[in-house]
Amino acid sequence: MIDDLFRRNRAWSIARQERDPDFFPRLARQQRPAYLWIGCADSRVPANEIVGLDPGELFVHRNVANLAPPSDINFLSVLSFAVAVLKVQHVIVCGHYGCGGVRAALLDERNGIVDHWLEPVRGTYRRNAARIEAIGSEADRVNALCEFNVQDRVQDVAATTIIRDAWAAGQKLAIHGWIYGLADGLLRNLDVTVAGLEDS
């Protein structure tokens, strides 16, 4: 199984170089992505692939349920590097319908350590419980919480000192909330973009 991955890698590398001989030397010199993607770790939501971007075009951070916790040094390091060094112009928080992490938070399941990680999603549920509980089917309630989760995580990103200081310094930077449909492969814009201190 593992050997197969190396075979696939060699085939991919050869095919890329045949299409564009300067592809790898160019990337090895520098990355200049205009976007930071904050998405779910779910294997069905491959960031570059669903937006049709090549290596070098998307800076990616993924975790369970696409969270942006202000206590997570991993997330903060990625965000800081993306904003201060790469100077990305867009931060995309992308959730997806049918998210297992969101479902676990909604149903208050016990899965171990990840239960602690999912606390921000439970907070989002508590703040929107009346609207979510008015929805008929469980799958639709999960999907509604998936959308509320993206909205709140956009606000979490916008509330970081990293973003607020960048805006205060005049840096152009927009934070977007999108959601991906596993069933049709399509992205939807939740229209919750925050583009400056006056929006947040």
Judge whether 127 counts as a catalytic residue. no
Comparing CB distances to Zn ion, the nearer of 35 and 117 is: 117
Helix (H) / strand (E) element for 187: namely: strand 187-189
Rounded distance, CA 114 to CA 96, Å? 18
Q: Which residues does 113 contact at the CB level (< 8 Å), separation at least 6?
A: none
Should residue 99 be labelled a site residue for Zn ion when binding is judged by CB under 5 A?
yes
Active-site residue, selected from the candidate residues 61, 94, 96, 146: 96
Site for Zn ion in 158-197 (CB under 5 A): none
Should residue 40 be labelled a site residue for Zn ion when binding is judged by CB under 5 A?
yes
- What single DSSP character describes residue 59? E
Measured from the Cβ of residue 75, the count of other Cβ atoms closer than 10 Å reads 19
Name the pairing type of β-strands 187-189 and 174-180. Answer: antiparallel
Active-site residue, selected from the candidate residues 8, 10, 26, 44: 44
Comparing CB distances to Zn ion, the nearer of 99 and 166 is: 99
Should residue 42 be labelled a site residue for Zn ion when binding is judged by CB under 5 A?
yes
Min dist CB 183 to Zn ion, Å, is 14
- Report, as residue numbers or ranges, the catalytic residues: 40, 42, 44, 96, 99
